[in-house]
């Protein structure tokens, strides 16, 4: 398990490496789930659904563009190639 210092460094690295569009997409997803789809947010937090499903529901409900949904899921899905720079 990483120490809290390493965790903080990783979080900073992630934030610095994200583009403006990626940051906006993740923020838009969170805002949509928190304000309009609280049941979906709860299911995501409980592990009942994954981030791809949550973003898809937000997109289908009209709260995210297709580009935002794609960017948010690419950023928030560990193991994808976009995470190659995360230590």
Read off the pLDDT of residues 18-67 as tens digits, 9 standing for 90 and up. 788 888 999 999 999 999 999 999 999 998 998 899 999 999 999 999 99
Structural domains counted in the chain: 1
- What pLDDT is recorded for position 74? 85
**Assessment of whether the complete model's pTM goes beyond 0.85:** no
Domain that holds residue 72: 4-83
pLDDT for 16 beyond 50: yes
pLDDT value of position 28:
94
57-86 pLDDT, tens digit per residue, is 999 999 999 999 999 888 877 665 544 444
How far is Cα 77 from Cα 73, in angstroms, rounded to an integer?
Answer: 6
Structure tokens at 41: 């947010």
């Amino acid at each position: 398990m990483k120490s809290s210092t390493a965790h903080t460094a990783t979080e900073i690295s992630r934030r610095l490496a994200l583009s403006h569009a990626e940051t906006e997409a993740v923020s838009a997803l969170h805002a949509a789930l928190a304000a309009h789809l609280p049941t979906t947010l709860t299911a995501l937090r409980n592990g009942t659904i994954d981030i791809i499903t949550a973003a898809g529901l937000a997109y289908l409900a009209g709260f995210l563009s297709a580009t935002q949904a794609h960017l948010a899921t690419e950023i928030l899905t560990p193991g994808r190639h976009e995470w190659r720079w995360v230590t």
